[in-house]
Amino acid sequence: MLSDLGAEVVKIEDEGQGDYLRDVSPGMFAALNRGKRSAVLALKTDGGKAQLRRLAEHADVLVESFRPGVLEQLLPPPWPERLVVCRISAFGQTGPWRDRAGHDIGCLALAGVLGRNGGLPLLLLADLFGGSQQAVIAVLAALLERGRTGKGRTLDLSLTDGATGLLLPHLDEPADAVTVLDGSRPCYRIYACASGAYALGALEPKFWLRFCTAVGRPDWTPRGYDTSLTPEVDALFATRTRDDWAAFLHASDCCGEPVLEPSELRTHPLFAARGLYAGDLPRTFPALMADVPMGRAPGRGEHTAAVLRDWA
């Protein structure tokens, strides 16, 4: 994300395999590392540690995701006064969980997201929302502060802490709280179609009225939140395909949209018109539409010599 905003980002990799994601999922690696440069440093040696310190003295920001305490071994304090050090870990640098290993699923479990979601979302919400997005916001705020004070700061980002932000409107609700957003109400539900699925979000009466009018069922108008009506609406949606429903309901403007697969986004007219994609990947900051070329992901150690020369 910082690279997409125009930052020069150097990825420090070890002398062995480097980032294992490059081998496990080349597509994910390419998406998460586009536009970066890669430098290999022998961080367990005195020479490698000296190189890391030299880079840190010239950098604006150092991002690390080791377990708490590891960075102190590789880059013993004090750290450069102007440096913003962004530390990302599963459970934070302090507290009784600081030394525990953690993955997205555990962070979401502790954050209450899995309990609220009713199961495991097929997205890395703790990593990408609780970690990456929170880190970008914190880094930019720290750089803004440094512009006033001349001093950096250390940021302690916990994936688990950050993921609780997804629950902000619901933190004080009991476990058995009734919600109209659970998909049981006919006005707010994902419907299986003859092929594909359609998402209806007609929460407000005016949108539900538009839907009922479009399908010729004015008698349903007062029953938008009536769960006993859901089977009837299920049966109705099963009579047509997703694309048929999308075309049929488009003009009614009833807050309904087809459920797309990720592979369909590139050719969808909305995203094509908005210029969401730049090359093979979507922009990370569509609101800015930053005119920054999104380069390819680097090979391991591809830029070691250049980085050590440029940042000397």
Catalytic residue numbers, as ranges: 103, 127
In this structure, what token pair is assigned to residue 30? 């390419």
- C-alpha closest to that of 299 among 24, 7, 36: 36
In this structure, what token pair is assigned to residue 178? 């009734």
51, 75 Cβ separation under 8 angstroms:
no
Residues 6, 290: Cα–Cα separation, whole Å: 8
Residues 92, 70: Cα–Cα separation, whole Å: 13
32, 21 Cβ separation under 8 angstroms:
yes
Cβ neighbors of 51 (< 8 A, separation 6 or more) are 41, 308
Cβ neighbors of 140 (< 8 A, separation 6 or more) are none
Residue 281 CB burial class (10 angstroms; 0-12, 13-18, ≥19): middle
Whether residue 78 is preceded by a cis peptide bond, meaning omega within 30 degrees of 0, is: yes
In this structure, what token pair is assigned to residue 99? 């030394």
Which amino acid is present at 214? A
Residues 277, 6: Cα–Cα separation, whole Å: 17
Cβ neighbors of 83 (< 8 A, separation 6 or more) are 56, 57, 59, 60, 61, 62, 152
Which string of DSSP letters, residue by residue, matches 278-293?
A: ETTEE-S-TTTT----
What dihedral angle (degrees, nearest 10) is formed by the CA atoms of 226, 232, 237, 240? -160
Q: CB count, 10 Å around CB of 205?
A: 12
